[in-house]
Structure 1
């Protein structure tokens, strides 16, 4: 298939996919002739890209035309739609047209519907930091790609350390690969603790400290996170996701639901075996307390988006959240 549409906010993963596609399509000796990148700042970028895709490659290998950050799946004027209708079905097999965007394609647009007929779509999403199973799965996939062997415990520790930062994940795996050398032995958690930065604090640990009402530990963690250049809004997004998950678990338990599969489905948890541990985590909290955290977190998010000082704003709200979770269960 000579047409690809890559989209999503995980820039690093998308860039790696582009590199892999480029290596597969192009002959290194002829890449300067057959590799064309077109940015949206260029006049009539999409029309130019379609015309370039229709041009046969020079020499050996194929031709790759990359429309960078194209808005073609968010807005498409009639003249461009007409050009798409004329061109997409006749792009030669020796040419590949690649369209990338951070934004989700608008399924209502005629251009998107048309591309769906001819193109292969692939999403590169940023995994929510509270989706532990997906983060561990991403570490396993990246470790396999880089040839690094990890134990189950070290995989979990690495997932906890890097979160959803794909670029950091690959950087740390490269560090581990160099450390392991020719050894075929899986690298254990001691290696991760020695080599990987930020293994002692992350936003999920912050959520746990707030849940237990440990104000001192929560303030230490949020300071460490800010000092490690973790964006405040990303911290808040993790906290919101984690407290929503805990709230769902508590509501269903108090509603009499005992089927872990059903609880996992409603709470959007991939591994039902985690439900038991999540139940223990919320055992000392009431639904009222968990519900009360969400307005505080929303106010925190709004304040940060309005330009509030990150550390001071986070510290103030985290103290309020810890005090809420310390209260006797109602």
Structure 2
């Protein structure tokens, strides 16, 4: 008997990443495209991959192996979709040996060869790259990764802005200068909320197809990133009571202190320091976002080499600095220099000491925002 024909890479598609909304959407679109038009529900074997524990994960893998080796119900082609698998990573149900061995059995079935009429799709939050299974699946599958941007890093807005711009274009919405950037700041890395907010704005606009800053401010709900953005606003306005209130709310919700420092406090202090320093030496257009960007581009490279840039290198990551323009007057340059050093010290305390994280951040905010008596 001849050995089974190897599975073609195009038959196995894996969608992984921390951006669950985009992972699910990409997998669903492919499954719909692969499903025969007249097959209905019988053209798919959809297996829920949400496992309660390692043993449950092993049972799910057994069902997947059976589905991959079962002929299509009415002949023709067939799609097997392991949906929302949560046991391929290094935590939770994925830690146990049953889960590890179960996924290895799935790979054994694929490597022995699937029928030419069988397609296999996996959607998951992640795969443990340290395991041999990851190396095996990279050789036999197409893998697409959809990760949320790291909001603690400068320039995270770039890819989110591009995605939001594309969605707005599909809906026929245009935004006045700075409005789309504000939407990104408020919705953050939650792409599902981003799409929901754009659709909400689409309905609100009606025949008017242009959205302004006030429309975004009034219509967009606050996500976690939006609350972080609000905390940044409180810092910029030097509103200590509001900043402490928001910090308390976020800590009560279980937010990580280092994450809050790096995602909300440090970026706003950095933007304030950059724009305060730049404005003290050069003339900047403060009236609109487009003019502000142009004034930055016209400065000599010696004055702008330290400014954050977009990931694609096409220009400055200017919107956080533009937001900081009206707020920079609330601080002196010396206060911002000292504040940035205080952020570094707070980060060190959070990492190396046993101090209460909330207390560390409260002290930082008091030092940053309390006005010193002269």
TM-score relative to the length of structure 1: 0.71
User: Which of 196, 205, 219 does residue 180 from structure 1 map onto?
Assistant: 205
Q: Structure 1 142/222 Cα, relative in aligned 2: closer, same or farther at 3 Å? A: farther
**2: CA distance, partners of 1:119 / 1:184:** 45
Partner of 1:277: 321
1:66 aligns with 2:67: no
Q: Structure 2: where are the runs of 5+ without partners? A: 1-9, 278-300
Partner of 1:46: 61
Q: Structure 1: where are the runs of 5+ without partners? A: none
Partner of 2:111: 88
**1: CA distance, partners of 2:105 / 2:47:** 22
Q: Is the 8 A contact 1:293 1:324 kept in 2?
A: no
Q: Is the 8 A contact 2:80 2:118 kept in 1?
A: yes
Partner of 1:99: 122
User: Which of 135, 138, 146 does residue 116 from structure 1 map onto?
Assistant: 138
Bigger Rg, which one: 2
**1: CA distance, partners of 2:46 / 2:213:** 44
1:219 aligns with 2:263: no
**2: CA distance, partners of 1:174 / 1:285:** 42
The total of aligned residue pairs comes to: 309
Partner of 2:33: 24
Superposed CA deviations along residues 165-189 of structure 1, whole A, max 9, x for unmatched, are: 22222222221222234x3733333
**2: CA distance, partners of 1:27 / 1:298:** 57
Q: Structure 1 320/155 Cα, relative in aligned 2: closer, same or farther at 3 Å? A: same
TM-score relative to the length of structure 2: 0.64
Q: Is the 8 A contact 1:8 1:101 kept in 2?
A: yes
User: Which of 14, 24, 37 does residue 5 from structure 1 map onto?
Assistant: 14
- The 5 Å alignment of 1:1-330 reads 1-27=10-36, 29-33=38-42, 34-39=44-49, 40=51, 41=56, 43-59=58-74, 62-72=78-88, 74=90, 81=104, 84-88=107-111, 90-103=113-126, 105-130=127-152, 131-144=156-169, 147-151=171-175, 152-181=177-206, 183=207, 185-198=209-222, 202-210=227-235, 213-219=238-244, 221-222=246-247, 231-233=253-255, 237-244=259-266, 258=302, 260-261=304-305, 264=308, 272-274=315-317, 277=321, 283-285=333-335, 289-294=339-344, 296=346, 318-326=361-369
How large is the Cα RMSD of the aligned pairs? 4.4
